[in-house]
Each structure stands twice: as structure tokens, then as C-alpha cells.
Chain A
Amino acid sequence: MRTDVTIIGAGQAGLAMSHCLTEDGIDHVVVERGSTANAWRTERWDSLRLLTPNWMSRLPGFQYQGSDPEGYMTASEVGDYLDRYRASFDAPVHDETSVDQVTPTDNGFEVETSGGRIDSRSVVIATGACGSPHIPAVAADFPTQTRHLSPIHYRNPDEIEGPVLVVGASASGAQIADELARAGHNVTVAVSNHVRLPRRYRGMDIHWWLEKLGILDEHISDVDDPLKARRTPSLQLVGSPEGRDLGLNELQSSGVRVAGRLAGVADTTVQFSGSLANVIHSADLKQNRLLDRCDEYAEASGLTHELVAAHRPAATSVEALPLTAHTGDFATVIWATGFRPSYPYLPEHFLDAKGGLPQNEGVTDQRGLFILGTTFGTRRNSSFLDGVGRDAAALAGSIRCDLERQLSASAFGGR
């Protein structure tokens, strides 16, 4: 098969890209190793819901039109949503087609897939922000009988036996710890740096504020420390019908025991960091600074009297566990410790020292190779359902320019 653009991945990034290319009349295909929204359907736990309110699910030419804009879609509802998006413009998706190798050629790339070879002038990687789960080396120091899981393999409390250690208290860790504790499990959470925010503030979802403050579409070139910005953990929140908060206070109320960062394992001793007080206090301070900005915005935009009066969340106050435990105290360890990029089908020399693909506004150093939907790739919301569309539209322009350049180069002979 020949085409101008091969998009790898039919999630929100791949479909948004496909929509923009369709609008521009650019010939392309989308290859998807599973079916539409594969990760949403096969790599999320049963109860997972969006972190952002439904109204914040805007894709190019498509938006949420359901009856619960302030609610949070479940993972399978997001899957259905993306199915409808795909159908809405008849995206050229090839399901059950995994990519084995992408090799540069004189005319672009040879894309070897499980369904055959595609000769493509350009390739857009749209496989999302969750590459492969990062399991720290310390996992190997637990006894062999300890069961290890990453959030993409966890499904529900019924599958978990014995006391659980959840490592990480950002969105995944906090949600899983909370769900397990509510189901009656013995849960300990090891807490490192996290971003604490209330679900709602002065009557509005916190994402409404983040959007108004310009934080969500902040450009990577405008942040002081881009490396740190790209490592910012996911918000310590849950999307629930009740719109409840999910900080450490709430976790403790659910019966979760709070420990410091998992610092190491020495023989049969699990070591938790003594930095917990600082970690907690830092998160509270950052939260309050953000809420100060919200109040300033409310004042400056004349909305103060339309919004509910300001009510600040209580300071985080948890009873910290001792600094050590025994490895035998935990039957299961769930590593909510983030993801690392994973591009096994790309030549290794395309990648940086950490396995990432260097890019600038979606354009990589390799001619004709583009990428979309990574964490703070271009803007803070580059990997979000609501943010990828803007990047896709901009990237379509870059792709068009690149194709025209390729065509005129080959018209004059050679590359």
C-alpha cells in the first residue's frame, strides 16, 4: 500500500490528526494495533473515569453532546465517544494492525505492519502519553512471591489479594488506593511529589479554572523548566459522579495508610522516605498559590459575585506510618510510578538517551516523521482529550508543507 501519511494509533490523537488531514484532503491511513480507543478499552481499570469534565472533550469537529457535561465519562464511554468520532468522518482506520518497523527510505518511510507493508511519505506517531509503565528497579528487591502490577494491568479490587502497597499518589495511585480501601483491602500508599487540587473551587470544576488561567494551553517555550514541566505528575484527583476530592486526607478517611516515598528495600526491610512532611506541605502550598490565582482571576474578570464564596481545602494532615516495614507486609505492589516513552518500531538512533523522540511542535529531527499527543509535547494539554486537537491542526500544516517540499524535491530529481 502507498499513502502520503501513515498515522500510528487510533485514539484521540490519531483520530484528531486524521480529521485534520481529511479536511485538508491529504491522503492517509490510520493503523491501530487493536480497535479504536484501544488503550481506553484494554489498558484501564474497570471504574476509570476521565479526570476532566465531559464538556472538556472537544476534538476537531466533534464535542460532547450528552446529558452530563459536568460529569466524567467512564473509560468505556470514552471508547464509545471515540468510535462515534471515527464514524463521523469515516476515518480510514485499519484495525488489528500493529506496526513492527518504521524504516526511512528515499521517498519517506517503509512501515512494516502485521497487515503488510505501507510505503508512506510521512509518519505520525499518535500512540499517546502512556508508553510503557515505568517500574523502578527496586521492584526486583521484593521477595519473589510478591505480585507486581502496573495501573494498566489492574482491573478491580476483586482481583487483588492480601495487603497492598500502592507506590505513587498521583491520579492513578490515589484512585486505585482509594478504590481498594473502600472495597475493604489493607492498603498503604507511598507518597512522593504530587499535585494536590480540589475537584471544584467556588462552584466550578478545577479544570474550568485551569483553562481560564491559561495553564492548560501554556506553551512549552513559555515555561521556566521544560524538563520539569514534562515530568509534572497527573493531578491527584478522581472523576466521580459525586464530584468528590481525592487528596491524602480523603485517602486516610477511606482507611488508606500513608507513608513517605518508597526509598528502598534492604534485605526484608522496606524503607520509606522521611521527607513526607515536606512533600505534603509543598503540595498544600502549591495548591494555595494556584487557588490564589483563581481568586485573582475571579476578581479581575468581575466574576467574584457570581461565583460561590472562596472556601479553601483543609491543610493535609495525615498520620504518617513508620519509616520502615517488612517486605512480607505486602502481597501486592501496584506501581503507579508513571510511564516511559516506547517506540520499539523506530530505529534506535532516532531516540534520545531516555528513549524519547525529540520533537518541536510535533516535528521531529527525522524528515517526514511527526509525533502527537505526548505529555506536554507542545502545550500542557497536548496529551489531553481536549488539547490534542489544536496540536493536530497545527501539525497538519507542517505535514502539508513537508509533503509539498518532498514532492518538489522529487520533481527536480533526488531527495
Chain B
Amino acid sequence: MKMHCGQARDELALEVGQDLDTGLGEELRLHLSECPECCRDWLALQESHAHLQHLKHDSPVVESPGLWQDVEIAIRGRGLKPERSSFPSRVLGVAVGVLFTVFFLDSFRSPVSDDQTLLIGLPFEAEPASPEVPYQPQWPPLVLADPELVEVELVGWPSGADDGVSPDAMPEVRRVRWRSSSRPLALVPHQFVHQPIRRPGLALPPPQMRPWRRSSGIPIARTTHEILRTGVDADF
């Protein structure tokens, strides 16, 4: 394919300083032999480039002797130090460290045995209601004030109604506090949070799960609508 004039002028500008790829030289010479316009441009480029070369050996300033002395004084005077590491690797390092710490601590969370677990479920209408308590969790039902103190709002039943509660009875709400150091109890907040809410006369909403929640080995309430208070003498 023949070279056109626009391309030839770009190539000529490179050729004048011997910056053209060797493969293009032949093609360029062929174009020059056929194009007087580009020949004129070539001569003009050679002339201007030769004038520019006049400056090449004309060093405009005297070379600086002993610049290091001034640089060293400035380094010491300003107390300069070279940077240790570049920004992105530092940020990446911190991020990886934080993630690792979080997962490491999470994996060491102590599993809770069944007898230390308070399971709260909701009653189904079809099942007998003798030990069950209508439980309507509030949002948020648990407030984890600190690792030691667990505060929960529970819906109990009227005192003296241990043998069963009418589904329409208004539940009692009590605030119960445990200190895990004082009593062998462990509460798992996420087991309470998304329990379906039952209101009299309304169908049960579909259960909501938290798929991102990591299982801690605690059994989810198999029999809903029951409260198991094993190992805990909570004040209901």
C-alpha cells in the first residue's frame, strides 16, 4: 500500500532525527521520489532541524560543581528522611490485617451448649399452648450494651399463668438482665431478632433469615412457641 502525504510528513519529521523505524524508510523514500510537495517539506524540515542542532552544543549554563554539599546541608537542616513505603501497600496491609483479625476473633467465639440457651419461639395455632408464651419481639429486641451485659425485652405471660395462656391475652413485657459472669447463660441476639411476629387474627409472616449470619453452633428453636429456661432462673 502506498504511503499518503499526511502519513509521509509525520514519518519525515521522525526521519529527520533518525527516529524512524527501519522498515518504513524504503516506503518513505519511494513516496519522496514521486511527490515533489513532500520533497519540499523534507528539505524544509532538514533545514529547521539543522538550525535546532545549533543549540545542541551550546550549553546555556555553567555546570554546577558540588551540588551534593548543598543538598546534604538541606537534608540535615530540614531533617528530611526517605519514605519507607508507598501509600497503596500500606493501606492494603492495614485492610488485610483488620479483616484477618475480625475473622480470627470470630472463629474463636465460644460455642453455647443447649442447656445454656434460651430459646424463644412463637406458638402456632394448631399446636397446644400449654407451656408456650406468645412472644412478640420488639425491634430491636436485644441491646448488647457490652460483652458482659445482655439486655432483652421479652414478652412473658401474666404471673401465675404458667400452665397456659390464652392466645388473645396481652403479654407482659419485662426487661431481664443477665451478667454472663454471674449466671451460666448465653443469649444469641440474632435468634431473637427476626422471629416472625404473631398477632391475634393475623397470619404468620414468612420467617426472615439472615443468610450472612455465621452459625455459632447453637441450635435454632426446633419446637417453636416454647420457652426453655434451663439453667436460668429468670424473673418472668
- A interacts with B: no
Enumerate chain B interface residues (CB-CB to A < 8 A).
none
